[in-house]
Structure 1
Amino acid sequence: MSLRVAATLRLVDHMAAGAHTPGELARATGADAEALHRLVRHLTAVGVFEEIAPRRFGPTGLGLLLADGHPLQQRSWLALDQIIGRADLAFTRLLEAVRTGRPSYEALYGRPFWDDLSADPGLGESFDALMATEEEAVDEGFIATRDWSGVRHVLDVGGAPGGLIQSIVRALPGVRGTLLDLPSPADRARARIAGRGLSDRIDVVGGDFFDELPVTADLVLLSMVLLNWQDDEARRILERCRDALEPGGTLILRERAEPSPDETTSTADLHFSLLDMRMLVFLGGRVRTTAEWRELAASAGLAITSLVTPITSPVVPFDFCLIEMTPVD
């Protein structure tokens, strides 16, 4: 929590601007000087800051990760006024989530996670910024994983903020794209795509993927979507995507990879279980094993025809997988 408070107060940025004493930092942040000194002293003890002179502090190499402009965006992941820091506070109600199987985010804030993002533009924008962190490096490995020859139209379902569909059409000049998401994130994605000069190749549609999808495509894409949902909801999304496939089309999922071929031990992996716990608390969703993906696909009238794993990411601390599905005749 001390790191989160330091991130929220932007202490590293204030230090970079010349505030080094507790008094200077207090004036810059509107905090109590003595309480802030105790916080900074504690973070010095654990290696985030260093005392460069009596009662004068600066960031260590570790502390520099909290700078607002750092490419890994750790400040935005931790700050309590940003979406993930806000959502992580729902872990204070983990007991309730475990007892009920329902997300504690909604119980804490009074509305579901996605509704909260749609209602608060600041939270929505902070989420989009985090999802866009080093996105081109992440997407490059995904695109290189399969043969895209013959693909004409990609429908990216739940695809805001739109980085992946932009990477696809830039890499594949003959492909056009459609992005579908809820109206608020769709509006933000539309502006972002226009700013990149890609409006002539990517249509953006506001809608709900639990309803009939408004367009068809020969390739329908779900990237890190289904882990947000429990099995019943995930099956309904898959069914909508199946129905939007043109004859001979393919549904592709990009999801969290199972970290080990040994299904008896894979869910004990730290990053697998951490993401899974966040899905429980934030959204009521879940991270799935390969066996669970096969079962879910079958329940939606689909069969897995290809599974590529792992797809290593140069940025995030876990691997992805690419799952291809086609309708069962």
Structure 2
Amino acid sequence: MTTTDIRPDDFFKLACASWISQALGIVAKLSIADLLTEGAKSIEELAQATESHIPSLYRVLRCLTTVGVFNEVKPRHFALTPLAEYLQSDNPYSLKYLAMTNIDQWRWHVFGDMFHTVKTGEPAIKSVYSVNNYWQYLEKNSESNLLFSQSMFSIAQNCQIQLLKSYDFSKVSKIIDIAGGQGLIISAILKHNPHLQGILFDMPETVVDAVKLLKAEGVAARCEIVGGDMFQSIPCGGDIYLLSYIMIDWDDRSICNLLENIRYSMPENSKVLVIDTVIPVSNDYHWSKWEDLFALCMGDGVVRTQTEFQTIFQKAGFELVKTFSPEKPLSLMELVRV
């Protein structure tokens, strides 16, 4: 065995990382971070407030201090840290629901069957739940669907919306948000750019209640809601067509079909903005490589390299002209028609 500077303890952290995910999800469900907003509290106070077993809760919090979540400021007393603030419910950038959905039982069952996927190529979710992808599972399980949707909202607040705030929409009149869900992202764009008009486009059953969020955000008068299937046709007349975190869920053929539909509907000088994870060419840590394991198990989707994206774009008649923030978890890619 070659002697290196790597200790067995470094390997232990990787092999047992799932324990941390569980601990993080548990304190999120118990809203521990909310209880520490005003300052440190004893484990007895936290256990009483959450109706939890004192010794067990202490051991969970003590473990999380080793990864920077919470600080044991004195024996058996815990306080917030910057990482723990992501667990606070009233934090506009809260990732509380991401921690919670990651310990939802169905996800553990799926990831527990990743070996099957590696051996056969069949998504684990199909072998475990007899569905083709995670969307089909969530359609049948409303509680998990709500939790997952809340986690996607939190990711959007931290990633997609921040990317789009840096994009210059000054010469744009209308933006079409394809598969835009309930309208969170297009609402943020319209609020940040008062001159813009928008179209929120998604499946009819998805956008049926979107008007509530658009009204709450004060942009309903500037945003038309259109129901439809993006693999069949796309609304016409947009200056920008936005695909936010969509491509990860689909195979290459489906993405080419979607882009061809957009190309058919878009005016000649319009652009397409794609927000997605892009795998960098290096061995360094990047969130995209981790997230690709989600795509591997959950359906036919895939996280792609920039070269793989370019191949798809070119096949569909587009050119990638610029990539914004490739070092971040999500990147913004700007496309034009060839």
Query: Does the Cα contact within 8 Å between 2:321 and 2:335 map onto a contact in 1?
Result: yes
Aligned equivalent of 1:309: 323
| Partner of residue 57 from structure 2, selected from 23, 36, 61 | 36
Moved more, 197-206 or 32-41: 32-41
Aligned equivalent of 2:336: 325
Identical aligned pairs, as a percentage?
25
Aligned equivalent of 1:93: 113
Partner SS for 1:69: coil
| Partner of residue 215 from structure 2, selected from 194, 209, 230 | 194
| Partner of residue 305 from structure 2, selected from 275, 289, 297 | 289
Query: Does the Cα contact within 8 Å between 2:247 and 2:255 map onto a contact in 1?
Result: yes
Task: Output the CA distance in 1 between the equivalents of 2:276 and 2:128.
Answer: 28
Q: Residue deviations 1:197-238, cap 9 Å, x none?
A: 222221112322122235553542222211221112212222
Distance 1:15 1:140, change over 3 A: closer
- The answer for unaligned runs of 5 or more in structure 1 is 260-264
- The answer for unaligned runs of 5 or more in structure 2 is 1-21
Q: Residue deviations 1:177-216, cap 9 Å, x none?
A: 2111133442343321122222222111232212223555
Query: Does the Cα contact within 8 Å between 1:220 and 1:244 map onto a contact in 2?
Result: no
Distance 1:221 1:138, change over 3 A: closer
Aligned equivalent of 2:314: 298
Task: Output the CA distance in 2 between the equivalents of 1:233 and 1:267.
Answer: 29
Task: Output the CA distance in 1 between the equivalents of 2:206 and 2:151.
Answer: 10
| Partner of residue 295 from structure 2, selected from 279, 284, 288 | 279
Task: Output the CA distance in 2 between the equivalents of 1:266 and 1:208.
Answer: 37
> Please, what TM-score do these two structures have when normalized by structure 2?
0.75
Once the two structures are TM-superposed, the CA of residue 91 in structure 1 deviates from its matched residue by 2.7
Distance 1:227 1:148, change over 3 A: farther
How many residue pairs end up in the alignment?
310
Aligned equivalent of 1:6: 27
Task: Output the CA distance in 2 between the equivalents of 1:255 and 1:125.
Answer: 17
Aligned equivalent of 2:146: 122
Task: Output the CA distance in 1 between the equivalents of 2:240 and 2:59.
Answer: 56
Q: Residue deviations 1:272-314, cap 9 Å, x none?
A: 31232232233431222232123212333x131x42123368x
Alignment RMSD (CA, Å): 3.4
Q: Residue deviations 1:22-46, cap 9 Å, x none?
A: 4443343343333223323333455
Task: Output the CA distance in 1 between the equivalents of 2:227 and 2:313.
Answer: 26
Query: Does the Cα contact within 8 Å between 1:219 and 1:251 map onto a contact in 2?
Result: yes
> Please, what TM-score do these two structures have when normalized by structure 1?
0.77
Once the two structures are TM-superposed, the CA of residue 324 in structure 1 deviates from its matched residue by 0.8
Query: Does the Cα contact within 8 Å between 1:158 and 1:180 map onto a contact in 2?
Result: yes
Once the two structures are TM-superposed, the CA of residue 3 in structure 1 deviates from its matched residue by 2.2
Query: Does the Cα contact within 8 Å between 2:256 and 2:315 map onto a contact in 1?
Result: yes
Task: Output the CA distance in 1 between the equivalents of 2:205 and 2:151.
Answer: 12
Q: Residue deviations 1:238-286, cap 9 Å, x none?
A: 2222222245544332333454xxxxx3476522312322322334312
Query: Does the Cα contact within 8 Å between 1:161 and 1:189 map onto a contact in 2?
Result: yes
Kindly provide the amino acid, as one letter, of the partner of residue 220 in structure 1.
Answer: Y
Query: Does the Cα contact within 8 Å between 2:95 and 2:155 map onto a contact in 1?
Result: no
